[in-house]
Chain A
């Protein structure tokens, strides 16, 4: 397994390199000069020309690409054109905000999604099954924008239960240490702030978790149905085992492999795909960081931002592959 992991990690290098190249070429294919956008409508031509030169944007693309790669191999993610700060210094707070949100969203999605799928399969064709699967269909096709605003309207304004936007109570802000506020508030022993942070996570977490929840529920159900038809389940039931254990122990273990795959993929997607949720809930995450960079033509931030997200994405997938062996001992990596 160790050798397998090393081999897999090695294959990640060409994958990430290829991705970097594609992103690099794509953002340069969009017209629009970053220098002009940085300096604004007021700028003189000379200023734009000199900034273009200073940013190295007048160089041929292959020179720029090689410069960027050289930087990457020395651990330099580049400097943001907009803020003039090294990306490696400024990216973490954004990434942390999104990781926290994505983990909560996935926790909600997994707990509800997996259980709904299991119960639907257990009581196939029951009213629960039908309702859950219709809801799942609605969930997959739900526009997050609309869902987010409705959540705010119902739970924040109408019932006054939860806050509308942000990560913390702005009037009593959290002092960041790791930038994962759940952890920071615990370290500082600020339980009042901890509960505020939890409250702030619920609405965006549900909004972001809805689509993965629906996908997970459907995948769990179909996977479970297949397993529950197999011989060893009939045997287990024939020897008088309680149905609950048959479902949650014997069936689930074999049904989990495709579900874990989906969970891994969705977690990766949430990291980069939280833009809408972040926009609506005033969440200072990596999605809006990269999105803003695109409209600003902040090339280094787009490249390195996507690179970081992509790296996490492939690492999660590697992790999922390794988990297969943990779930099912019959799977061996060679």
Chain B
């Protein structure tokens, strides 16, 4: 037996060594031995998935942004726990009267990790790279936030010019109210001009941020170390940040309890008690910037009738859903956007759970006998919908009370999105996490007639709403904009293309020694001022 076993082992080993020889290795690493790193002052962040690439301009996933946010910085930043605009690499800015010219004054003496100087020229090169690519598949966020690329009709950026070494002037073709909020997004962070060619940045990111890239073991760890020359004084406080992939939420909590990691995202709501009972741990709550909803395809009978949609709104017990499936880590939604965003209409009265009212409305629509239809349940857990199947069952039970028979159907996630987008689902569950903290990114993106076939899955088209939303896009006056969005929400509430269900607050857990960590509503935040006690 022994002989055969050893032969087997030896052969396997030979095979694997041979294979190792053929491959050049999938991880890239870069030298960086300036300064001693204290392993105990490195924060390990446990998360459910790996980054796709580390060039923020080409990725669209949160797991990439949370890393790039440490390495690169945009011209302006969001506030620590809100989406107000504060200085970033630009220390001040000036907006012309007509809202068409933005003049940014840059910080001086900032250097990229490769030693290149950060100046107006670097900013121009970055914007040119995106705009001149005309590549909507590569720079997806640029195309969708700025209306296309150079030469496109909808492109809002006319040109980006340097005015001296530390001034950048951006001229727009038409006013774009959320322009600064767009510029603050992770994808529009500034990379070293020396690294802009080809796809280098994806594997070897170079920015001006508090941490610089050291190594990446795919699906395992991404190691960042302190940028000793960071331009903000006394920052960063940590010697490094390591991102570690542990897919399973429960084992990630086990690793945190054991002290192998210091901070983790996506804590199961049902595990919250384990964290609060442990004196070595603390929990964090990310402010909501999302909405989970039950959508109707307003082109499909019987949901083409407003009364039917309203009737169903009266049949959803949101608080019960939150108590049972979100463990209380969410708030009931009455509008398509979360309350933390400017322009939220708090005067709207939500439709209370009321069977009698629902029956009355159904009778008005001539459907007092009820009907049968498909209810599409989300197949994957998302922050705004941790358990689609269970929530669907709860809704199904309530609908049965007025003789509406809902058959729950579901598909694999990619398929689900594609079919819902094509309008195949009469009634479906979905949600949205905001990109830039602006009302436009919810109301226009999700419910304008222009976005049917893209993110307006309800295929809701209302001329009045369209007018309000388009006007708001070009209005510079904040108060006036908010008023427009409030009006739009009144009409949307009346038409009820969705039943807004919840705004959830994702939970994180960390070691109690962590200080200064404030989860940002957008889902990623810089760890520059995080420290260990």
B144 touches A91 (CB 8 A): no
Q: Does A82 contact B (CB under 8 A)?
A: yes
A32 touches B26 (CB 8 A): no
Q: Which residues of A contact B479 (CB under 8 A)?
A: none
Q: Which residues of B contact A252 (CB under 8 A)?
A: 1
A326 touches B4 (CB 8 A): yes
* Chain B, range 140-155, C-beta contacts under 8 Å to A: 140-141, 143-144
Contact A164 to B260, CB < 8 A, known contacts A84-B199, A93-B25: yes
Q: Does A209 contact B (CB under 8 A)?
A: no
Q: Does A94 contact B (CB under 8 A)?
A: yes
For the complex, what is the distance from the CA of A93 to the CA of B26, rounded to whole Å? 7
Q: Does B15 contact A (CB under 8 A)?
A: yes
Choose from B1, B3, B60 the contact partner of A42 (Cβ within 8 Å): B60
B4 touches A31 (CB 8 A): no
Q: Does B16 contact A (CB under 8 A)?
A: yes
A164 touches B9 (CB 8 A): no
Q: Does B232 contact A (CB under 8 A)?
A: no
* Chain B, range 241-260, C-beta contacts under 8 Å to A: 242, 244-248, 250-252, 254-255, 257-258, 260
For the complex, what is the distance from the CA of A91 to the CA of B257, rounded to whole Å? 32
A295 touches B27 (CB 8 A): no
Partner-binding segment picked from A2-10, A18-26, A166-174: A166-174
Q: Does B261 contact A (CB under 8 A)?
A: yes
Q: Which residues of A contact B202 (CB under 8 A)?
A: 83-84
* Chain A, range 275-306, C-beta contacts under 8 Å to B: 278-282, 284, 288-289, 292, 295, 297
B260 touches A153 (CB 8 A): no
Contact A45 to B454, CB < 8 A, known contacts A39-B137, A94-B218, A282-B244: yes
Q: Which residues of A contact B137 (CB under 8 A)?
A: 35, 39, 43, 47-48, 50-51, 54
Q: Which residues of A contact B244 (CB under 8 A)?
A: 166, 170, 282
Minimum CB–CB distance from B118 to chain A (whole Å) comes to: 27
For the complex, what is the distance from the CA of A327 to the CA of B3, rounded to whole Å? 9
Q: Does B81 contact A (CB under 8 A)?
A: no
B16 touches A43 (CB 8 A): no
Q: Which residues of A contact B23 (CB under 8 A)?
A: 88-89, 91-92
Q: Does A193 contact B (CB under 8 A)?
A: no
Q: Does A15 contact B (CB under 8 A)?
A: no
Contact A288 to B26, CB < 8 A, known contacts A171-B42, A326-B3: no
B223 touches A92 (CB 8 A): no
Q: Which residues of A contact B49 (CB under 8 A)?
A: 292
Q: Does B220 contact A (CB under 8 A)?
A: yes
Q: Does B408 contact A (CB under 8 A)?
A: no
Question: Nearest B residue to A180 by beta-carbon distance?
Answer: B16
Question: Nearest B residue to A35 by beta-carbon distance?
Answer: B137
Q: Which residues of B contact A89 (CB under 8 A)?
A: 23-26
For the complex, what is the distance from the CA of A167 to the CA of B4, rounded to whole Å? 29
Contact A88 to B1, CB < 8 A, known contacts A94-B218, A279-B247: no
Q: Does B356 contact A (CB under 8 A)?
A: no
Q: Does A149 contact B (CB under 8 A)?
A: yes
A83 touches B1 (CB 8 A): no
For the complex, what is the distance from the CA of A173 to the CA of B244, rounded to whole Å? 11
Interface centre among B9, B27, B42, B220 (most CB of A within 10 A): B220
A47 touches B26 (CB 8 A): no
Q: Does A99 contact B (CB under 8 A)?
A: yes
Q: Does A66 contact B (CB under 8 A)?
A: no
Q: Does B365 contact A (CB under 8 A)?
A: no
Question: Nearest A residue to B60 by beta-carbon distance?
Answer: A40
Interface centre among A82, A90, A153 (most CB of B within 10 A): A90
Interface centre among B61, B140, B413 (most CB of A within 10 A): B140
Partner-binding segment picked from B124-132, B304-312, B383-391, B414-422: B414-422
For the complex, what is the distance from the CA of A263 to the CA of B218, rounded to whole Å? 30
Q: Does A74 contact B (CB under 8 A)?
A: no
Minimum CB–CB distance from A197 to chain B (whole Å) comes to: 13
Choose from A85, A256, A316 the contact partner of B1 (Cβ within 8 Å): A256
For the complex, what is the distance from the CA of A95 to the CA of B26, rounded to whole Å? 11
B144 touches A42 (CB 8 A): yes
B254 touches A153 (CB 8 A): yes
Minimum CB–CB distance from A113 to chain B (whole Å) comes to: 12
A164 touches B251 (CB 8 A): yes
Q: What are 28 A-B pairs with beta-carbon distances under 8 A?
A: A32-B418, A36-B418, A42-B144, A44-B144, A45-B453, A47-B136, A89-B25, A92-B22, A94-B26, A97-B220, A103-B9, A153-B254, A163-B260, A165-B255, A166-B244, A166-B255, A170-B260, A171-B42, A171-B44, A176-B27, A180-B16, A282-B244, A282-B255, A284-B218, A295-B413, A315-B15, A319-B11, A323-B8
- Beyond the given A91-B26, A319-B8, please list 14 additional residue pairs across the A-B interface where CB-CB is below 8 A: A31-B412, A41-B432, A42-B141, A92-B23, A93-B27, A95-B16, A166-B246, A166-B260, A170-B44, A172-B39, A178-B17, A282-B247, A284-B218, A323-B8
Closest A-B pairs by Cβ, 4 of them: A32-B414, A282-B246, A47-B136, A90-B26
Could you list which residues of chain B lie within 8 angstroms of chain A, going by C-beta atoms? 1, 3-5, 7-9, 11-12, 15-17, 19-20, 22-27, 39-40, 42, 44, 46, 49, 52-53, 60-61, 136-137, 140-141, 143-144, 199, 202, 215, 217-221, 223, 242, 244-248, 250-252, 254-255, 257-258, 260-261, 411-415, 417-419, 432, 435, 453-455
